[in-house]
Amino acid sequence: MAAEFLTEEQRMLLEMVRDFAEREVKPIAADLDRNEHFPREVFAKMAELGLLGIPYPEEYGGAGMDTVCYALAVEEVSWACGSTGLGMAAHTSLGTNPIFMFGTEEQKQRYLPRLCSGETLGAFGLTEPGAGSDAGGTKTHAVLEGDEWVINGSKMWITNAAYADYLVLTAVTDPQTREISCFIVEKGTPGYHIGAEEKKMGLRGSDTHALTFENVRVPKGNLLGERGKGFKQMLKTLDGGRISIGAMSVGLARRALEEAVQYSQDRVQFGKPISANQVIQGYLADMAVRVEASRELVLKAARLKDAGLDYHQAAAMAKLYASETASWCADRAIQIHGGYGYTREYPVERIYREAKLCEIGEGTSEIQRMVIARGLVGRH
């Protein structure tokens, strides 16, 4: 990447995470996928380096860095292992950020230090069996009884669910108006049940479970922000999450490109490396352009966020283009590898499976196009 456009702090962070990813994450990525193992030991090392609280103030135990630093870190970790990158992104953008953005000072002091330090991982409960792209179709509900909220319902596809001591979830608090609010729920609360781990096509080293809530009672003070503001809080949280998934996508796409370049130089057919073939060169050139364009879109959204400007549409553009780039680059990388690319002998097979989720999580590509189009129509 063009490091000359980064600040000194951003360059130092990039170099440190790149070295860490190369040494600690890349060598075990295939085993994590094969064994469906969540790399808790790697997250402990990331916590020691301050990588799990990058964009949060030091007063809450964070590193006090900006969103650009965070995006660069997610790219590097995802370059080495998509599963690890996803867990990192879900923790920082989804599990921690809502508390930072909307929590009371008491809630921030109580929860953020453990999250930013990596003592625990964060999780975010939004998706339900009947509420995916239509997040407003939430069925989980919360009823105020005295000084407690009683929560009933279920969530699914929850990343980091088994390792998160706290979950931020959305629930309907007024069935008449479909009012939605957010709550902080602690694991171990009676009625809080973690389902079996999901068997996924890719990102198999990422921890993913369904959750159910049966008369889960939480203190009145666990309401996150204002009652009835949960839908807006959710949308704002997803904007930041889309920067994360965009960065993750760039990491996967870049790895696919690098593997393809290396293989095309090593593979000899008809007496010469296949990299000398014009068709292969065209694939590589298109992959490189898409990777660079994706990164710039991600960094633009991150810089807008850091500047306190509206980044809603920019995040959607970054997530849309980068995620589709990751899938496209992984597809071309397998084509360049030929039959070998279809086997586990080479990492492009894993990257192909990992990249697909990026087009689905944090809002599908179809939803991103709706967000972008509505922004255009609204402006004009």
- Catalytic center residues: 362
The two beta strands, 268-269 and 223-224, are unpaired
- Cβ atoms within 10 Å of 285's Cβ, excluding its own: 10
In angstroms, the CA 129 to CA 155 distance is: 7
Residue of 8, 25, 15, 121 lying closest to 72 (CA atoms): 15
C-alpha to C-alpha distance for 183 and 228, rounded to whole angstroms: 11
Q: How far apart (Å, rounded) are the C-alpha atoms in residues 71 and 43? A: 17
**CB burial class (10 A; 0-12, 13-18, 19+) of residue 17?**
buried
Residue 323 has which token pair?
């995620």
The answer for 187, left when phi > 0, alpha when psi is -120 to 50, beta otherwise, is: beta
In 3-state terms, what secondary structure has residue 155?
A: strand
CA 194, CA 161: separation in Å to the nearest integer?
Answer: 7
Structure tokens at 55: 């964009």
From residue 117, how far is each of 8, 10, 18, 50 by CA, in Å?
Answer: 23, 20, 20, 7
